[in-house]
């Protein structure tokens, strides 16, 4: 079966900044029909609710959610759905990357990276 007929990769975006959500949504939707945004969350509570209800394939997660530590959500998200998690953040220090990966993130992309890098990380997270 050709990948053209495969269902799209469903992506949940978790970021407290509306501009980031808007930009990443446009980036992912430009990959249609292979990817689509399953929802947006601006805080941990919303992220957990949407992860349970939307059942995304991938969650793109920011580290700083307006004072909440997004990395603390990784084990909770992994416990409530089968989505792979790609951390997408301005905090690209090696210690943050290492912590994210140790907590179970499938990928890590700096917000300063080209959009193609985030798309590749989403594809890579789905195996």
Query: Per-residue confidence at 127, pLDDT binned at 50, 70, 90?
Result: confident
What's the CA gap between 73 and 58, in Å, rounded? 14
Q: What's the average model confidence in pLDDT over 96-120? A: 97
Closest among 110, 117, 39, 51 to 84, alpha carbons compared: 51
Q: What's the average model confidence in pLDDT over 84-93? A: 93
Per residue in 42-63, pLDDT tens?
999 999 999 999 999 999 999 9
According to the model, what pLDDT value does residue 96 have?
95
What's the CA gap between 1 and 6, in Å, rounded? 8
For 110, counting Cβ atoms within 10 Å of its Cβ (0-12 exposed, 13-18 middle, 19+ buried), the class is middle
**pTM across the whole model:** 0.94
pLDDT above 70: percentage of residues in the chain: 97
């Amino acid at each position: 079966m050709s990948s053209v007929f495969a269902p799209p990769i469903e992506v949940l975006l978790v970021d407290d900044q509306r501009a980031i959500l808007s930009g990443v949504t446009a980036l992912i939707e430009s990959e249609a029909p292979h990817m689509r945004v399953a929802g947006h969350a601006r805080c941990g509570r919303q992220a957990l609710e949407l992860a349970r209800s939307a059942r995304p394939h991938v969650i793109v997660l920011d580290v700083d959610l307006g004072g909440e530590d997004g990395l603390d959500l990784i084990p909770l998200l992994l416990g409530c759905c089968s989505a792979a998690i790609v951390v997408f953040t301005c905090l690209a220090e090696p210690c943050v990357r290492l912590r994210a990966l140790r907590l179970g993130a499938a990928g890590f992309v700096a917000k300063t990276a080209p959009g193609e890098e985030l798309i590749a990380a989403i594809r890579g997270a789905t195996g």
